[in-house]
Amino acid sequence: MAYEIPVTQARAELADLINRVVYGGERVVVTRHGKPLVALVSAADLDALESAAAPPVEVVRTVSGTGTSSTLDDRGRYDVAARHGDHH
């Protein structure tokens, strides 16, 4: 669970918060009026979050492919056909 801290307090304790995140492995949520505003996470956590958010390129190719390898021109043509209802 993340440690929550109001933005005014976080401003005064930024160096300590950075140490808690980097060396303590904590995640810190900075709040304003009790609502989450931003989160402090380690660079390693950020890399992991970004990697999890983006599907691997091969998965995208498999899902968007037509069963054969297609060029960018083919994908564009299929996209136009799908938007206009033309299946030729």
Domain spans in the chain, listed from the N-terminal domain onward: 2-53
Tell me the per-residue pLDDT of 29-70, one tens digit each, with 9 for 90 and over: 999 999 999 999 999 999 998 888 876 666 555 555 555 554
Residue that the structure tokens 């931003």 belong to: 38
List of residues 6+ apart from 66 with CB closer than 8 A? 74, 78
Query: Looking at residue 39, what is its pLDDT?
Result: 95
Which fold is adopted by the domain 2-53?
YefM-like fold (3.40.1620)
Structure tokens at 74: 């083919």
Identify the band that residue 2 occupies on the pLDDT scale cut at 50, 70 and 90.
confident
Nearest to 13 by CA among 34, 43, 40: 40
pLDDT for residue 41: 95
- Other CB atoms within 10 A of residue 20 CB: 17
Residue 43 contacts residue 37 (beta carbons within 8 Å)? no
